[in-house]
A and B are shown apart, each in its own frame.
Chain A
Amino acid sequence: MPLIETTALQKRYDNKVTALADLTVAIEPGVVGLVGVNGAGKSTLIKLALGLLEPTGGRIRVLGLDPVADGDRVRARVGYMPEHDCLPPDMIAAEFVTHMARVSGLPKAMARERASETLRHVGLYEERYRRIGGYSTGMKQRVKLAQALVHDPELLLLDEPTNGLDPAGRRAMLDLVHRIGTDFGISVVVCSHLLGEIERICTSLVAIDAGRLLRSATLDSMTQARDLLMVEVDEDAEALAAALVSQGLEVRTDNRVLYVRIEDSSTDGDVYDKIRDAVADLDLPLHRIERQRHQVADLFREVANA
């Protein structure tokens, strides 16, 4: 059963602004990256999934339930971490997370136990007895994650969890999300406008743009189908590109950098040989040749341009 399934989902605000237009997608269990530029409709999709908004057209089902009719039951089984600050500054973190656990339906003693356990899992130890107002941005993000996780949801919706964090903080947060998806066994939908960042931790990606589905696939299928070799020469990249195309290779040029597509790993060596020979024939200064690491971003860019 898909976690979230939408059919021709549409959401217009006040009959003017269209946030989602005809979105049909099935989000399967795992760690799913929901990517798109700001304003693409990511947050709207999450709010529709929580039943906080009603769709103006189409259908959405979450964990097999209708979030509008069965909102209470959906929200009891889903955890939500909003994008923006949402914490009361003058409460102690441990008490706050306990309170939120109780509002999610956990009995008092269990709420207390799970709150301190969850705060430990997100990396807050002794600090959890301090007031949230005195926390750094990174600690606040952890408390936000803890309150979404404390009632052990089946599905975790994270809206830009790395917002406002420094590079080290981002890495730590992403590792944590990855651990939740793999070790904890909780499915996660993580929103981001930074594809390069979340592709490391996701099992599949859903890209939306202007309220429509751009592409949805597992990460494996994307990277397998589309491996790219980056070839950088100091001069005359056009000539090299032409030579490679004539050899039957698929080439895209970006300034002095060529991206050469590799169909599958068995013919890898073949492609390397052709590039070496072409460079040698043209007598070009080869700067570097390497396998592209961030090819997924590239892939989405191609689709967007097309």
Chain B
Amino acid sequence: MPDTGVIHDIGYQRYEGPRLGRGYAARSLYVHGIRSAYGLGRSAWAKVLPMGVLAFASMASLILVVINTQLPTQVIDYVGIASTFTYAATVFVAVVAPELVSVDLRSNLLQLYLSRPLRKSDYALTKLASLATATFLLFAIPMLIMFLGMAFNTDSGIGGVLDEVGGFAQGLVAAAIHAALLSALGLPLASLSGRRVFASGMIIALFLLTTPISGALQAFGNGALADLGGLMDPSSLLNGVDQWLFGPGIGIVRTGDFGAVYGLVTVALIALGTYLLVLRYKKVKS
């Protein structure tokens, strides 16, 4: 009889359990991406900016609930949150996109992912999905707060709650479109540089430098030129899509009769960004 209370080294154990394939590997990477976008599982400093932007947006949404319920008409609705929070989301993407891809390039972690069942395109698309989901949450959580606030404050019973559900659903659709476009523009840029600073800078530059061009076209152009000027920068473009789909709520840009063009350009840009991202990882040195 061996003595009780002795810890025996049972040695190395072979793994006989299941090995889930590529799909599971991609899902694991996806969840990991969303978590690290918000700094979970990383250092305290990594949480400051993404969590800060989210907290700020949630607080703004809470204030909106108060204003909306105090005033006779709703000032900003759910789609309005998507439109007005675009700039905050831009900052979020500029900070988080490099975190998702540049760090993997710089630390060579990409090499370890690619030596596993994942393929290069799996990696690229999974990272894009992570960023889009994280950005979507940045819109959706404040919208949820607004929904809860408005639904509890409604004066018209269940009908009022259903109205809010409809608005909330529209808001989520707008949030998904915003998240998809901003991610599809930001991630390919971030994947070009292993330096976080440069990657963030490129994304900020894309969003900031296009704004005056689009603004100038809208201000000084006439007719169709002015109506199409909003296509030139992402925030105006997204606002145009919001107006086209859900009617003029927050009208930052004038789209005239070209609402569908805004929609088409958005879809085309999402497709192009995704394609370029996959192409970029096809060419990555392994």
Contacts from A to B (Cβ < 8 Å):
47, 50, 52-53, 71-73, 75-76, 78, 80, 82, 84-92, 95, 99-100, 102-107, 110, 114, 117, 121, 131, 147, 151-152, 183-185
Contacts and interface: CB of A to CB of B under 8 A. Distances in A.
B24 to A, nearest CB: 6
A91 B24 CA distance: 21
Most B CB within 10 A of own CB, among A88, A89, A184:
A88
Interface stretch (B38-46, B71-79, B135-143, B172-180): B38-46
B28 A99 contact: yes
Interface of B: 11-15, 17-22, 24-25, 28-29, 32, 41-43, 46, 103-104, 107-109, 111-119, 286
A183 B117 CA distance: 27
A151 B15 contact: yes
A184 to B, nearest CB: 4
B25 A103 contact: yes
Given A90-B42, A121-B12, A106 B112 contact: no
Nearest to A152: B15
B28 A103 contact: yes
A299 to B, nearest CB: 33
Contact of A72 (B42, B108, B119): B119
B14 A100 contact: no
Nearest to A72: B117
B24 A105 contact: yes
A85 B107 contact: yes
7 contacts: A52-B115, A75-B116, A80-B115, A86-B109, A90-B42, A105-B24, A105-B117
B41 A92 contact: yes
B25 A102 contact: yes
A184 B12 contact: yes
Contact of A106 (B15, B104, B113): B15
B29 A103 contact: yes
Contacts of B15: 106, 110, 114, 151-152
Q: Which 7 A-B pairs have the closest CB atoms?
A: A152-B15, A102-B28, A86-B108, A52-B286, A80-B115, A184-B12, A105-B19
Given A100-B116, A106-B19, A86 B107 contact: yes
Given A52-B286, A91-B42, A103 B107 contact: no
* Interface class of chain B by DSSP: loop
A95 B43 CA distance: 13
A114 B16 CA distance: 12
Contacts, number: 96
Given A80-B115, A114-B15, A89 B41 contact: no
Contacts of A147: 112
A39 B274 CA distance: 36
A100 B19 CA distance: 13
B210 to A, nearest CB: 32
Contact of B112 (A72, A76, A86, A91): A86
Nearest to A73: B117
Contacts of A131: 43
A92 to B, nearest CB: 7
A69 to B, nearest CB: 12
Contacts of A90: 42-43, 46
A290 to B, nearest CB: 38
B113 A89 contact: no
Nearest to B12: A184
A53 B107 contact: no
A181 to B, nearest CB: 11
A115 B19 CA distance: 15
Given A100-B112, A106-B17, A131-B43, A53 B119 contact: no
A106 B21 CA distance: 9
A105 B21 contact: yes
Contacts of B108: 82, 84-86
Contacts of A91: 41-42
Contacts of A76: 19, 21, 116-117
